[in-house]
Chain A
């Protein structure tokens, strides 16, 4: 399918996600609503994979890039961050690695056990 039409489908889910975010009184972001609905549409066949695949690949490749302007905002927030700088860095760096290792260790064990039971 044409690129413009593919992009349109993805925009449509973004729009619906944004609407739900405004209408539902829960702190769930538009992207989570959109992700879930988009997934359901693919799974039920309402949207065919071929109808979004190319534009989707392009947008996924862009994803890390879209986050860069947010990191630039960090520099602007340095002044307010000062009051908790040390604990924030400690949690942001060491805490993140520890959290990843804890979740990873559990997942690794369960994923391996499942693979073994399948054989």
Chain B
């Protein structure tokens, strides 16, 4: 690299606003591309990730530094998630009326997820530890990491798989649901929240308040259900 470029990247590397600016900028760019081309291909989370990675590479910034500089953004995860209580409160009549659908969808989703993980673990002749590491893939990171820790799995892998799951749900969850005739806002919200936690819920909120409220509710219920069935899954032979 030329000395000038070195100087420029040092300037950027030591600037704590670079990480946050590229992340927010990439996110906004994706939103405008999405509007212009009317396709969910430009998924905001994915495009922001892409731009951030380019910036990190370009200015030679390591992940630790990025994480420190992006802390003001990550700081808002809990306050933002808590605000799901607002659509939930507004939609509470609909929630009460659909209690059976909520319980059924969350139970079915939790069990299907566990069975799929078990099947894949068997097919790939996985170690017990790896199997338990993947079990929590569909739930929110805070609970999933806790379960993995409890059963001696690899927390970093759990977080990575939770992310892959989330990005999948965020990007193409609604596409497949629509394809298979799942059109009811309550059902869509539940399906997204059960399968792809907060990442999916972020997308559900974009579709509508009902979808967002039910998706947020499904995160909490599925998380708790997964904690409850984890001992059962742990007892299954792989």
Contacts and interface: CB of A to CB of B under 8 A. Distances in A.
A91 B117 contact: yes
Nearest to B43: A64
B82 interface: yes
B77 A31 contact: yes
A119 interface: no
Interface in B116-154: 116-117, 120-121, 123-124, 126, 130, 133-134, 137-138, 140-143, 146-147, 149-150, 154
| Interface residue SS majority, chain A | helix
A107 B191 contact: yes
Contacts of A115: 184
B83 interface: yes
B63 to A, nearest CB: 4
Contacts, number: 321
A10 B82 contact: yes
Interface string A82-93: 011011111111
Interface residues of A, number: 77
A39 B143 CA distance: 20
B67 A27 contact: no
A26 B112 CA distance: 24
Nearest to B97: A114
Interface in A1-51: 7, 10-11, 13-14, 17-18, 26-32, 34-36, 38-39, 42-43, 49
Contacts of A105: 180, 182
A77 B224 CA distance: 26
Contact of B83 (A59, A87, A108): A59
A20 to B, nearest CB: 12
Interface of B: 19, 23-24, 26-27, 44-46, 48-49, 52-53, 56, 63, 66-67, 70, 73-74, 76-90, 92, 97-98, 100-102, 104-106, 108-109, 112-113, 116-117, 120-121, 123-124, 126, 130, 133-134, 137-138, 140-143, 146-147, 149-150, 154, 156-157, 159-161, 163-170, 172-173, 176-177, 180-184, 186-188, 190-192, 194-196, 198-203, 205-206, 212, 216, 218-220, 223-224, 227
5 contacts: A35-B220, A36-B85, A59-B76, A64-B199, A67-B45
Interface of A: 7, 10-11, 13-14, 17-18, 26-32, 34-36, 38-39, 42-43, 49, 52-53, 56-57, 59-60, 62-78, 80-81, 83-84, 86-93, 95-108, 110-112, 114-115, 118
Given A63-B201, A100-B192, 13 more contacts: A27-B147, A64-B45, A64-B205, A72-B66, A81-B160, A87-B126, A99-B112, A100-B191, A103-B109, A104-B177, A104-B188, A105-B180, A114-B98
